[in-house]
Amino acid sequence: MTTFAGSQAFIGIIYLIASALFILALKWMNAPPTARRGILSGEIGMVLAIGGTLLQLGVDGKLEHISIDYTWIFIALGIGTAIGVPLGLVQMTAVPQRTALSHAFGAFCVTLVGTSEFYLGTPHIPAFKMAVLCCEVILGGLTVTGSLMAAGKLQEVLPQRPITFKGQNFVNLTMLAVAIVLAVYLVHDPGATHLYPVMVGIALMFGVMLVIPIGGADMPTVISLLNSYAGLSAAAMGFVLNNKLLIIAGALDGSSGLILSVIMSKAMNRSFTNVLFGAFGQVAAAAAGGQEARPVKSASPEEAAGILAAASRVVVVPGYGMAVAQAQHKVRELYDALTKRGIDVRFAIHPVAGRMPGHMNVLLAEADVPYDRLMEMDDINGDFPQVDVSLIIGANDVTNPAAKTDKASPIYGMPVLDVERSHTVMVIKRSMNPGFAGIDNPLYYMDQTLMLFGDAKVFVSNIVKELAH
């Protein structure tokens, strides 16, 4: 018995060290110079925790005289690694869908473990354990399907437009309520094995229903929220297994996801409930239309290059369109060409530009744009009156001045980049069709605005060619 307690103390200390390393990993993530140390710290913590668990399993097996199935553990670890490596090597433009997919995998693991614990324990599961187990599998289940839906939308295998129908919110809330009622019943009677699959099934369906009405522009908030749910379900699993390392890792992930969702929804001036139940795209599409025939000024690559060459301060505003056109490398060439001429070039990054938090930063860093040239919205907004040219590449709503002035606009109140204060605004855009959210942008009709029609990648490379002359 003492040796048994000894093995518990041993694994406890290992988990304690791993917890500290996990917290340090996140602490070192705060700035680029120390961030890679953070990864190392996280990796050491992970290896310690897994190694310690394997050892303890062996010791416990000896003490309890049960044989431990190491073969399948290592086979599973091997298969997981084989799947993980390609997932770690995806293109940077595919990072949002990869992230959504990994939220699904994490929640899948948690849901499966919770389900096993239920069937192993039923009908003798103490009430509080059953309660956290229900939290674990409901949160886990809805995160699995919700994240898969999000990944499908981001990969464009599912329609990106929000899908809505009448009474959608009522249906969703009813499903959630039924799942909770079933959970309460299961806490009361953990032997009701026939109800358990129903509860999990409803959680899985709820995840699908939750993400169906969400459009591409809301993806940053939704991915962050799913991140938070994945973390909370892992923390609930920690309660079920009485494993403090899991509780800590889950709480860290949960709070990280929550902070990011708050930042994202603030950057869109919307509440969580509005993102989840608002079906943004539909309202917006109704508000657009009827404003087609207003005149705009357009310019050729030669003219654009001339204006850029004459400028002394240029701000580039990238958006999802840059990612879609894979234009980030051409943008870097433009940055180099202008910098060589002594022009000050900076990048203005709106928090919700792209499809996940920090999306634009990663793409530009991939293209070797130095990160100290990437400015946050609040840091650069005051500088726009001194900017000669703002070049907008594939961004729309985040530059829309209607958010500040037009109370009827669906994005009224959303903080935006004050590009219209710069001397000249150039917008690279495929056509005058309203963007994804379908909101008309008055910026395009302003006197200082020039529209550069064409594919972002092609247009930017034409400008670069002109500048080389």
Partner 1 sequence: MSQVVLMGTALIDGLFVFMLAGFIGFEVIKRISPLLHTPLMSITNALDAIAVVGAIVLVGRNESPLAHVLGILAVIAATSNIVGGFLITDRMLKMFKSSRPTKS
- Phi then psi for residue 425, to 5 deg, are -120, 130
Give the C-alpha separation, 105 to 143, whole Å: 9
CB of 221 to partner 1, least distance (A): 13
Tokens representing residue 299 in the block:
């310019």
Q: Which is nearer to partner 1, 195 or 432 (CB)?
A: 195
C-beta closer to partner 1: residue 184 or 259: 259
Is 110 or 279 the residue whose CB approaches partner 1 more closely?
Answer: 110
Where helices occur in 212-310 by DSSP H, the ranges are 219-241, 244-267, 272-277, 280-287, 301-310
**Which of 49, 451 has the CB closer to partner 1?**
49
Note the Cα 269 to chain centre separation in Å. 18
- Rounded (5°) CA angle 393-366-341: 60
Minimum CB–partner distance for residue 322 and partner 1 (Å): 15
Contact status: 13 vs partner 1 (CB under 8 A): no
Of the candidate residues 206, 239, 320, 459, the single one contacting partner 1 (CB under 8 A): 239
Calculate the CA dihedral of residues 179, 185, 188, 189 and round it to 10 degrees.
-110
Residue 250 interacts with partner 1 (CB under 8 A): yes or no: yes
- Contact of 413 with 337, CB cutoff 8 Å: no
Q: Minimum distance from CB of 67 to partner 1 (Å)?
A: 8
Query: Which of 10, 105, 412, 436 touches partner 1 (CB under 8 A)?
Result: 105
Q: Which amino acid is at 207?
A: G
Chain CA centroid to CA 241, Å:
29
Pairwise CA distance, residues 187 & 435, whole Å? 48
- Report the alpha-carbon distance of residue 3 to residue 218 in Å, rounded: 54
Which of 17, 59, 73, 324 is close enough to bind partner 1 by CB under 8 A?
A: 73
> Shortest approach of partner 1 to residue 422 CB, angstroms?
22
Residue with token string 């394997």: 54
Q: How far is the CB of 461 from partner 1 (least distance, A)?
A: 21
Shortest distance in whole angstroms from residue 366 CB to partner 1: 5
In angstroms, the Cα distances linking 190 to 125, 130, 177, 314, 404 are: 6, 7, 19, 65, 54
Q: Kindly tell me which residue out of 93, 98, 153, 219 binds partner 1, with binding defined by CB under 8 A.
A: 98
Applying CB under 8 A, the span of 109-117, 161-169, 287-295, 437-445 interacting with partner 1 comes to 109-117
Q: What is the total count of residues that contact partner 1 (CB under 8 A)?
A: 114
Measured from the CB of residue 58, what is the shortest distance to partner 1 in angstroms? 8
Stretch that binds partner 1, among 100-108, 272-280, 407-415, 446-454 (CB under 8 A): 100-108
Tokens of residue 185, six digits: 């019943």
**Residue tagged active-site, from 60, 378, 388, 397:** 397
324 to 383, contacts with partner 1 by CB under 8 A? 349, 351, 356-359, 361-362, 365-366, 368, 370-374, 376
Is 379 one of the annotated active-site residues of the chain?
no
Q: How far is CA 50 from the centre of its chain?
A: 27
Q: Using CB under 8 A, which of the segments 113-121, 294-302, 308-316, 455-463 binds partner 1?
A: 113-121
Cβ closer to partner 1: 90 or 177?
90
Residue 435, SS3 per DSSP: coil
Neighbours of 339 (CB within 10 A): 14
Quick check: 155 binds partner 1 (CB under 8 A)? no
What amino acid positions are annotated as catalytic residues?
A: 397
